[in-house]
Amino acid sequence: MLTVNELNHLTTRYQERPKQLAQIEAVSQALVHLANQRLPASPLPPLLYSEKQLMRDPSLLPLDQAFGGLRETIIKEYGLWFLPNQTLVQDLADWLAGRPLVELAAGNAALSASLLAAGAHAVAVDSLDWVGQDIEQAEPWTTVEQLDALDWVMNEIQAVQQEKKDSLPVFLMAWWPNGNAGDWSILQALRQSALPFTLIVIGEPGPYTNSQSFWAKAQLTKDKRLNKHYQPFDDYQDALYFAQ
Query: What is the DSSP secondary structure assignment for residue 58, as one 8-state letter?
Result: G
For residue 211, the model assigns a pLDDT of 97
Q: What is the C-alpha to C-alpha distance for residues 238 and 43, in angstroms, rounded to an integer?
A: 13
Domain co-membership, 140 together with 224: yes
Domain count, the chain: 2
What is the pLDDT averaged over residues 72-91? 94
Domain co-membership, 101 together with 51: no
Contact 173, 183 (CB under 8 A): yes
Q: Name the domain boundary from 78, 108, 128.
A: 78
pTM of the complete model? 0.94
Domain co-membership, 69 together with 9: yes
Question: Within 3-59, where are the H helices?
Answer: 4-13, 18-35, 51-56
Q: Name the domain boundary from 78, 97, 121.
A: 78
Beta-carbon contacts of residue 165 (< 8 Å; ≥ 6 apart): 156, 159
Domain co-membership, 193 together with 136: yes
For residue 158, the model assigns a pLDDT of 98
Q: What is the C-alpha to C-alpha distance for residues 19 and 38, in angstroms, rounded to an integer?
A: 25
- Which strands, in side-by-side order, build the sheet including 170-174? 144-146, 122-126, 101-104, 170-174, 199-203, 239-243, 220-222
Question: Which domain range does residue 236 map to?
Answer: 86-243
Q: Name the domain boundary from 78, 98, 124.
A: 78
For residue 128, the model assigns a pLDDT of 84
Domain co-membership, 62 together with 127: no
For residue 176, the model assigns a pLDDT of 96
Q: How many helices (H) and strands (E) does the chain have?
A: 11, 7
Q: What is the C-alpha to C-alpha distance for residues 65 and 85, in angstroms, rounded to an integer?
A: 23
Domain co-membership, 101 together with 205: yes
| pLDDT above 80 for 103 | yes
What is the pLDDT averaged over residues 79-91? 96
Domain co-membership, 178 together with 57: no
